[in-house]
Amino acid sequence: MTDTTPRTTRRTVLGLTGAGIATALAGCLGETTIPAQSDSGNGNGGQSARTYRVTVANLTRGQPFTPPAVVAHKASIELFAVGDPASDEIREVAENGNLGPLGELAERATDVRGAVIGETPLVPTELPASEMFPDSTTLELETDASGAFLSFVSMLIGTNDGFTGLDTVPLPDRVNESRSYFASSFDAGTEMNTEMYEDMVPPAQALYGIDGGVDGTGMSNPDLAEDGVITPHSGIVGDGDLDPAIYGWDDPAALVQVERIA
């Protein structure tokens, strides 16, 4: 696996929606900085600081991920659950690769104790864009003792509303302790799975080295809206433009390795 390691305490958002393919592939989209929650603002003064090294690896053969969003939080936070409707924040990630609403949630929720977002898409080595982007990234996540749980989410870029993630898994408690988690793939249940290029985010075709003759879209289409719930993703079935041999994958979709380093 190749690997990148941003050394920063800020949250850097690389939005993949609503941008030209060339711009998206150049990684020159807008950055948003979101400050960490302060102890004085949530009644957790005196909690000791903790730093974690979090590595997210794309295990699929055919699905690029949006930059991973990783959050440390209290047990009261739930990003998603199978069988429940997707929140607006998860819908925006799953349909449009839009990390902005999730970042805003992390900023205002006092039970979120730390968060970081990767800087580039994670692209399987089998795809042409892997020459430009890594298939894994290593982030440093700062939190305090009250933020004892981790959640993570990334869009599966070559889908209508697919994503991979973890919800509320325990963080290592001791320095030098590490844990590893496999993340499955999910269907947000918010958009029909047309598997058509015109219904996908613009970077999808470029990351696959394909020109489908349409631009794609970074906006939700009301005509494709579903009122469903989050389910395990059924994968690419081949009913539209997508070839399962190229876009398909098997679970687990991602490996998340977490080590407490301070």
- Could you check whether the bond before residue 252 is cis, i.e. omega within 30 degrees of 0? yes
pLDDT of residue 191: 95
Q: Does domain 21-35+50-260 have CATH number 2.60.40.2130?
A: yes
The string of pLDDT tens digits covering residues 12-33 is 222 333 233 333 433 322 233 2
Residue 10, token pair as written in the block: 């800020």
| Average pLDDT in the chain | 84
CA distance 28 to 208: 19
Three-class DSSP labels, 143-207: EECCCCEEEEEEEECCCCCEEEEEEEEECCCCCCCEEEEEECEEECCCECCCCCHHHCCCHHHHH
Q: How far, in whole angstroms, is CA 10 from its chain's centroid?
A: 16
Within 8 A by CB and 6+ apart from 89, the residues are 79, 101, 102, 105
pLDDT of residue 116: 95
pLDDT of residue 213: 78
- Residue 148 half-sphere exposure toward CB, CA atoms < 13 A: 9
The string of pLDDT tens digits covering residues 194-240 is 999 988 998 888 898 888 777 777 788 888 889 899 999 999 999 89
pLDDT of residue 31: 31
* Residue in this structure with the two tokens 């009913």, named with its chain if needed: 239
Q: Which residues lie across from 137 on neighbouring strands?
A: 4, 56
pLDDT of residue 211: 82
- DSSP codes of every residue in 40-59: GGTT-TTPPEEEEEEEEEE-
Phi then psi for residue 93, to 5 deg, are -65, -50
With both helix axes pointing from N to C terminus, report the angle between 100-108 and 88-96 in degrees, rounded to the nearest 10.
Answer: 150
The string of pLDDT tens digits covering residues 117-160 is 999 999 999 999 999 999 999 999 999 999 999 999 999 999 99
Q: What is the percent of the chain where pLDDT is above 90?
A: 69
The total number of residues written for the chain in this structure: 262
The string of pLDDT tens digits covering residues 57-112 is 999 999 999 999 999 999 999 999 999 999 999 999 999 999 999 999 999 999 99
The domains of the chain are located at 21-35+50-260
Are 222 and 153 in contact, with CB atoms under 8 Å apart? no
pLDDT of residue 49: 94
CA distance 232 to 251: 10
pLDDT of residue 214: 78
